[in-house]
Amino acid sequence: MVLSKNTQVRGNICSLPSRKTALALCILTLFVVYHIPYSIRFLEGLIPMDKCQLVGSEALKLDNAVDITLKLGSRSDVQTCTYWGAPIIWDGMFDPEAYDQTHKRTHTSVALTVFAVGRYLDAYLKDFLRSAEIYFMVGLPVTYYVFTDVPEKVPALNLAPGRELKVFAVERHSRWQDISMMRMKSIMEVIDTHIRHHNQYVFCMDVDQVFGGRFGAEALGDSVALLHAYYYHRFRYMLTYDQNPKSQAYMAESQGDFYYHAAVFGGSWQRVRQMTEACYRGIIKDKDNGVEALWHDESHLNKYLWQHKPSRVLSPEYCWDPSVGYRSDIHVTRLLWREKDYGKLRDKAN
């Protein structure tokens, strides 16, 4: 039997003689046809990660003294460090109390920037902030910096002592891609005018997420990047870096280490300022040349982090998409993607 078209698969296979092998093949084929994305993601999860080659935490490039307590060998199922000596933070590797107490003693304060433009404000901002109050850097001073085109609609919340919210008006751009890319300029500017005077560390996050578990001081470092939930098991050649030589975000086939998610990045205010300025300059050069990077600001961020290695990498626990499905190496989900209807959400933002 010859199948001339993919659309004939279901009918032709299911019309085979009624034998056990034919029935099994039919069921398997139908399952794959209807669940291809989930099947691929499941199979990707079976690809083994590289292993940490460092012996003991003393070999790490430490962001702070408490990093010496990290247990690199506690998770044999995942990669717990990079080849340049940065820890990759997974559940079971750290003592939460040790990190909390260390940062309390040093009076660490954290800025959290988030953009809520157009319908994203109504759909996500309140839940994002409410859940942050429960799980984000609990016990430390935190300032939320909310950027929006409708400041009067930012919800009033009862914040814990030592935590405050500041609202900044931003221009509504003509396309959602520009909203995404121009956030680099806004973050850079608010660091210059506010954050540098009040906060040692900065985290920059997308608003269409909700905290569901501890996102604490163990995540703080000089330069912090996040492994993308979709790609952390993939081989390097499968990663979706920008491949256009005309773009400032271009990365050759031989370049790259990990694929980082722009939904969460951070570090000291000095390093985040350098990071956002470099991405912004790359975006502007691309605009001047009539070019747009494949994944917009995320492509530029990946280029920067390949050239300037992060001192700390967060596992996908720190920004997980439930649609990826079950992964045995994800023991806890600390920040979760929310369901999105881009057609409705981006219509008003345009």
Query: Which residues have a catalytic role annotated?
Result: 298
Q: Is 317 annotated as a binding residue?
A: no
From the CB of residue 157, how many other CB atoms can be counted at a distance below 10 Å? 15
Q: Is 59 annotated as a binding residue?
A: no
Instruction: For residues 170 and 297, give the distance between their C-alpha atoms in angstroms, rounded to a whole number.
Output: 17
**Backbone phi, psi, residue 275, to 5°:** -65, -50
Instruction: For residues 236 and 78, give the distance between their C-alpha atoms in angstroms, rounded to a whole number.
Output: 16
Question: At a CB cut-off of 8 Å and minimum separation 6, what does 80 contact?
Answer: 52, 72, 73, 74, 87, 88, 90, 93
**Backbone phi, psi, residue 13, to 5°:** -70, -40
CB 312 within 8 Å of CB 83: no
Q: Is 198 annotated as a binding residue?
A: no
Instruction: For residues 295 and 89, give the distance between their C-alpha atoms in angstroms, rounded to a whole number.
Output: 25
Instruction: For residues 219 and 130, give the distance between their C-alpha atoms in angstroms, rounded to a whole number.
Output: 20
Q: Is 228 annotated as a binding residue?
A: yes
DSSP conformational letter for 66: G
Q: Is 120 annotated as a binding residue?
A: yes
Nearest 5°: CA angle at 50, between 45 and 55? 140
Q: Is 115 annotated as a binding residue?
A: yes
Q: Is 240 annotated as a binding residue?
A: yes
**Helix 176-190 vs helix 269-288: angle between axes, to the nearest 10 degrees?**
140
- Measure Cα distances from 212 to 130, 135, 141, 225 in Å: 11, 7, 20, 19
Pairing between β-strand 209-211 and β-strand 335-337 as defined by DSSP bridges = antiparallel
From the CB of residue 171, how many other CB atoms can be counted at a distance below 10 Å? 11
Q: Is 178 annotated as a binding residue?
A: no
Q: Which residues make up each annotated binding site?
A: 115-117, 120, 206-208, 228, 240, 298, 321
Q: Which residues make up each annotated binding site for Mn(2+)?
A: 206, 208
Q: Which residues make up each annotated binding site for UDP-N-acetyl-alpha-D-galactosamine?
A: 115-117, 120, 206-208
